[in-house]
Amino acid sequence: MSRQSSKAGLLNDVTTAAERYVVRTATTGTTVLLTPEDHADRVFILDTILTVSTLNFKLPAASGSGDVYTFVNNAVQTFGFIVSLNIATDYLTGVALMIEAVGGTDDVVFYTTATSDKVTFNATTTGGLRGDKVVAIDYKAGYYLVEVTAFPSGDVVTPFSAT
């Protein structure tokens, strides 16, 4: 029986809180190479403002494992952050719901393209405000299913790109 299907339920098991969440408080960006063994099915929380450089979370190769990687921004960023793929032959497929934070009428939905392999939050037009979220699911070899919710400012543009 998995932890998630146990009678107590994962939410009630306080001993697993450290296993479920990774809270990042460093203000310096870097590249974080994620591995299924250490990072799958965990929530990554950016709980501080990046003041020095951009942070890049690189997902492992997509194999169809069903592993889920969730990223939540809990600060108003001054530098952006990125969720990208570590393997050149992997791609993202999915959608980004962009909700303009300043209350304008530029709420938009963007879709990935055939070559999308990166989600960028630039702290303005593609998001980077408190509440941004990326959920990436390793759903088949070579592909992550991605759902992005972002709160950009200014004229909204797609957060998806190809490197």
pLDDT in tens, 34-79: 999 989 999 999 888 887 778 899 999 999 999 999 999 998 888 8
- CA-to-CA distance for 68 and 29, rounded, in angstroms? 23
Q: What is the largest CA-CA distance in the chain?
A: 48
Percentage, residues of the chain above pLDDT 90: 51
Using alpha carbons, select from 133, 125, 115 the residue that is nearest to residue 159. Answer: 125
Instruction: pLDDT band for 15, please (50, 70, 90 cuts).
Output: low
